[in-house]
Structures are given as structure tokens and as C-alpha cells.
Amino acid sequence: MSSEQSNTSNSSEMIPVNITIADRNYRVRIAPKDEEAVRKTAALINAKMVEFKNLYAGKDSQDYISMVLLWFTTEQKADGQNLYELESLQNQIDSLSASIEKVIAEN
């Protein structure tokens, strides 16, 4: 199988999933095997945002998202995940951050 056929095959295996982060809905395309992890991660992000809102009153959503990203990245390193897993997670975070920033800019 050529790499071009492989890329086409991989993109057709992606499924659309709706997730909510910081009261905003995002439609992302992911591999079916990653759906549970993505949903759990979104739930964890939302829970940490609530926690930070209770600790640091008066901030806006962007501040809380930044705090959660910092916490999440620090926790992952502390748990000893390897660099490849962190890089993959960072790419997902960057993609979500870009989506959030785009929505904020449109409003």
C-alpha cells in the first residue's frame, strides 16, 4: 500500500466527535480508539476549570483555560509519560487552543 493510499485510509477512519470545553462545543475528528480518552480529557479539563474558578474568582475563561493547560502539562510530566505521548497531547491541546481562540475572535 502506498503512503498516499495509507493517508486516505487513515482519514476515512476518523470519526466526528462533539466535545464541550469551557461551555463551548467543538467538533473534532479523531480515531475511534481515542474517543473515550478525548471525552475523559475534556471532562477533566472542565472539572479543573471549575476548581480554578472556585480558587481564583474574577478571572475570565481564557485565564482558566491557561491554568488548566499548565496544570495538565505539569501533571503529565510528573506522571512520567514519555516525550512522544507529551508531544501528541501538546498537539491536541494546541489544536483545541486554536479552535478556542478562533471562536473568541469571532465573537
Query: Measuring CA to CA, how many Å separate 70 from each of 3, 13, 58, 106?
Result: 36, 31, 19, 25
C-alpha cell at 70: 499548565
pLDDT more than 90, % of the chain? 22
Question: What is the domain partition of the chain in residue ranges?
Answer: 3-106
Expressed in angstroms, the distance from the first to the final Cα of the chain is 45
Helix (H, G, I), strand (E, B) or coil at 17: strand
Superfamily for 3-106? Answer: Cell division protein ZapA protomer, N-terminal domain (3.30.160.880)
Interval 9-42: pLDDT, tens = 455 699 999 999 988 999 999 999 999 989 988 9
Closest among 40, 56, 45 to 23, alpha carbons compared:
45
The confidence score (pLDDT) of residue 33 equals 93
